[in-house]
Structure 1
């Protein structure tokens, strides 16, 4: 996809444990059961993989040396915010986000995960089957999560 200023650039991380389950966190800023994988914006001059490692540590406490990069999406994936959110989030500057996505393996222990970070984004976390991801995320990101499952199908052990 080409660069588009209407979309905020960012990254996302699909983190797998040894059982090929995916890490998700429950958003601290929502009243519904909205779970998601770690994601965040790219800082000026920052490379996507460096951003992915930084965001993962900022959101989960997982240090970069505890993560093995397995694959990445060959193209950036986008989602659009619902109209009612477009004017409220990010000062109304963006209509959605466009992410580089990385598939990674978690090499640490569960005790290495700490969501009580300096600026917490999640109030709970769990490992889930990849096929359940679209049902856990907010509706406007479901298609993106389905694309990720298709993209990483081989690594996830799916037919």
Structure 2
């Protein structure tokens, strides 16, 4: 019987060690990212647009074409954007409100002078999707387009 106890105890010890070895950092809860950290965590590509009726809008539509491309938001608060053919679109500074409800970009020229500032409402901001809303006429909030971006592995053009 003593031999049987040793086998059971050895088995329990091996099982316990296997369970401990199976635990790793991937199993630990991840720190929640701030909205700014989420936006800067990946490169983004415009993959869809929807109108206020929820219908898909082709990315060449005059109402959304200016918002289509690749976007790279850096942790230092700067951004660069490119058209889908990799031609430069704009660069400058960016912020996201602490509550994650708005994103502001300040586009700048080569000398660093401000060209324009754009504030948009964020409707989705996760590691899998970044969607913001634009209004063709700021006086009429009933007509809008949601510009949908998803993560991309596309390297930032040089």
- Is this a same-fold pair by TM over 0.5? no
Structure with the larger RCO, 1 or 2 (CA within 8 Å, 6+ apart): 1
- Larger proportion of helix: 1
Q: Compute the TM-score of the two structures, normalised by the length of structure 2.
A: 0.26
Q: Decide which structure has the larger Cα Rg and report it.
A: 2
Which has the larger share of strand? 2
TM-score (norm 1): 0.26
